[in-house]
Amino acid sequence: MKWESVIGLEVHVSLSTKSKLFSGTASNFGAEPNTQANIFDLAMPGTLPVLNEAALTMAVRFGLAIGAEIGKYSVFDRKNYFYPDLPKGYQVTQLDFPTVGKGSISINLEDGSEKIIGITRAHIEENAGKSLHEDFSDQSGIDLNRAGEPLLEIVSEPEIKNAKEAVAYLKKLHSIVRYLDISDAIMAQGSMRCDVNVSIREQGETKLGTRTEIKNINSFRFVEKAINSEVLRQQEVIEDGGSIVQETRRYDSTKNATSSMRSKEVANDYRYFPEPDLLPVVIDDSFISSIRSELPELPDAKKERFIEDYGLSAYDAGVLTSSREMADYFEMVVQTCGAPKIAANWVTGNLQGTLNKLELDIAASPISAKDLASLISRIKDNTISSKIAKTIFESMIDSDQSVDAIIEQKGLKQVTDDGEIERLVIQVMEENQSQVEQFKTGKEQVLGYLVGQAMKISRGKANPEQVGQLLRQKIEQAI
């Protein structure tokens, strides 16, 4: 039997407002427990919420970025349940009238094609606190620093077909919210979290199968693995004659398997009703258009521009625009050295490789855009060869010296002097006579070998283009 999976994602991103959603408390990551909780966050009797307008603005920014309908009339609701890290005994969220309505984003599939994923809605809600079970024997600690932080919950349509698409979708969301500067979206710190709804059905079937929800997955890699393992599990259950139970599951990365948390039958009745302590939020066109006018260039538009203006491949443009920081870095390099294609190769190649190895963000790159641009300029003006450039690049990682100083100091300046090149070519021809003969008989590829020998002798400093030309000239003359 052929199966297909249907996946929908609920993604929570913490909005990076200075203070919480309904109180003036700061909301920084990593503060001492309960140092960022005021009387409202503690749900002291008599305290009341006041909406942080910055959170609303950020939600609208997101909505406009995904081409969504903006809820001009949005309503906060109370979602009631008891848990020690939920001080009021209810979470304030938006049920029927969210700030962001239907929209969509495009993702790139592995075959290079594009796919549009619908977004059902995105609503503003408050985060809960954190229970600390490990630090106290026989007791649980509660840290309310996080309680009341603004979250944007982004709900996708069930239009994602497999784990790879899910990850592509997540990465795109990650990129968008970071471009918009509305969230750090760091999965490891919980500022981006993901619940995955998975169901399977026979290929060709149009009805959706029973879904399970995998809660709180905290890395892109685990999202992929969790979906794959859950899809497999569902297939096995059905193929063994069983049926899927609608339930919440958790993913255990050490076992690479999901397990049941609670089933729908014992699920909470949240008794939603409109939050009477807050008025409905009414926003007008001028509020929306002022936010629209301040929207930054978004990944898709930037990618198009990179292809158009810089002549980059779609792939390179996609990689370079996947984060705003990388795109900015790239553009700064190009502005200084004026060689977009070489710059793209360096940024996506050596630089990215180095950053990965050092586990650094491009914002913390040991080589500044300006320095990389000087390096590329020296390649362009033939001061150094590409090969030598790689050596210089390695030196630049641990050095504060300028590119020119390194070239000077290490004597890496490219040999372009015709006389020297000619001496080099003659030496190579003498030492590699059989290869020269082969070239004469038409074996073109031998030329590369001969150039390589010249480079070796010159320790990379000879200009390979010049060497190649002269070699060809001399051998052809000799025929």
Partner 1 sequence: MLEKTVVELSEALKLRKVSSVELTRAYLEKIGTKSKKLNTYITVCDELALTQAKMADQRLAKGEKNPLLGIPIAHKDIFCTKGIKTTCGSKMLENFVSPYNATVVSKLNKAGMVTLGKTNMDEFAMGSSNETSYFGPVKNPWDTEKVPGGSSGGSAAAVAADLCAIATGTDTGGSIRQPASFCGVTGLKPSYGRISRWGMIAFASSLDQAGPISKSAEDAAIIMNAMAGSDDLDSTSIRAPVDDYTASINDSLHGIKIGVPKQHLTEGLSIEVEESIRQALQVYEKLGATIKEIDLPNNHLSVSAYYVIAPAEASANLSRYDGVRYGFRCSQPTDLEDMYKRTRSEGFGSEVKRRIMIGTYALSAGYYDAYYQKAQKIRRLIKNDFDAAFKTVDVIVGPTSPHTAFGLGTTTDPVKMYLEDIYTIAVNLAGLPGISIPAGLVGKLPIGMQIIGKDFAEAKLLNVAHKYQKETDWHKMKPSLDFGD
Task: Answer for the pair 142, 85: CB distance below 8 angstroms, yes or no.
Answer: yes
* Residue 88 in contact with partner 1, rule: CB under 8 A: yes
Q: 47 or 106: whose CB is closer to partner 1?
A: 47
The least CB distance from residue 15 to partner 1, in Å, is 19
| Helices (runs of H) and strands (runs of E) counted in the chain | 16, 15
Q: Would you call 134 exposed, middle or buried from its count of C-beta atoms within 10 A (0-12, 13-18, 19+)?
A: exposed
Q: Residues 18, 28, 35, 44: which binds partner 1 (CB under 8 A)?
A: 44
For 15-144, list the strands marked E by DSSP.
73-74, 77-80, 90-93, 103-108, 114-126, 130-132, 141-143
Stretch that binds partner 1, among 41-49, 101-109, 314-322, 456-464 (CB under 8 A): 41-49
**Span 164-183, contacts to partner 1 by CB under 8 A:** none
* Residue 456 in contact with partner 1, rule: CB under 8 A: no
* Residue 48 in contact with partner 1, rule: CB under 8 A: yes
Q: Tell me, what DSSP letter sits at residue 295?
A: P
Q: Strand, helix or coil at 75?
A: coil
Q: Residues 30, 46, 204, 411: which binds partner 1 (CB under 8 A)?
A: 46
Site string for partner 1, 127-166 (x = CB under 8 A): -------------x-x------------------------
The least CB distance from residue 99 to partner 1, in Å, is 16
* Residue 73 in contact with partner 1, rule: CB under 8 A: no
Query: Taking the CB of residue 188, how many other CB atoms lie within 10 A of it?
Result: 8
* Residue 432 in contact with partner 1, rule: CB under 8 A: no
Task: Answer for the pair 150, 18: CB distance below 8 angstroms, yes or no.
Answer: no
Residues facing residue 73 across a β-bridge: 282
Q: Residues 10, 75, 80, 292: which binds partner 1 (CB under 8 A)?
A: 80
Q: Residues 42, 132, 314, 457: which binds partner 1 (CB under 8 A)?
A: 42
- The Cα 159–Cα 130 span in angstroms is 32
Stretch that binds partner 1, among 82-90, 161-169, 188-196, 345-353 (CB under 8 A): 82-90
255 token code pair:
């076992």
**Span 381-410, contacts to partner 1 by CB under 8 A:** none
Stretch that binds partner 1, among 43-51, 175-183, 191-199, 249-257 (CB under 8 A): 43-51
* Residue 90 in contact with partner 1, rule: CB under 8 A: yes
* Residue 358 in contact with partner 1, rule: CB under 8 A: no
- CA-to-CA dists, residue 366 to 51, 97, 373, 422, 464, angstroms: 41, 47, 14, 39, 29
Q: Residues 18, 28, 35, 50: which binds partner 1 (CB under 8 A)?
A: 50
Q: Residues 30, 112, 204, 276: which binds partner 1 (CB under 8 A)?
A: 276
The least CB distance from residue 14 to partner 1, in Å, is 23
Using CB under 8 A, count the residues that bind partner 1: 29
90 token code pair:
């209810």
- The Cα 49–Cα 52 span in angstroms is 9
**Span 254-273, contacts to partner 1 by CB under 8 A:** 269, 271-273
- The Cα 117–Cα 259 span in angstroms is 28
* Residue 279 in contact with partner 1, rule: CB under 8 A: yes
- The Cα 477–Cα 436 span in angstroms is 12
Q: Residues 18, 28, 35, 39: which binds partner 1 (CB under 8 A)?
A: 39
Task: Answer for the pair 100, 143: CB distance below 8 angstroms, yes or no.
Answer: no
- The Cα 64–Cα 252 span in angstroms is 36
Stretch that binds partner 1, among 46-54, 95-103, 169-177, 299-307 (CB under 8 A): 46-54
> What DSSP line would sit under 239-261, residue for residue?
HTT-----EEEEEETTTTEEEEE
Question: 322 Cβ partners below 8 Å, 6+ apart?
Answer: 171, 175, 299
Q: 147 or 154: whose CB is closer to partner 1?
A: 147
Residues contributing to the site for partner 1 (CB under 8 A): 39, 42-51, 78, 80, 82, 84, 87-90, 140, 142, 269, 271-273, 276-279
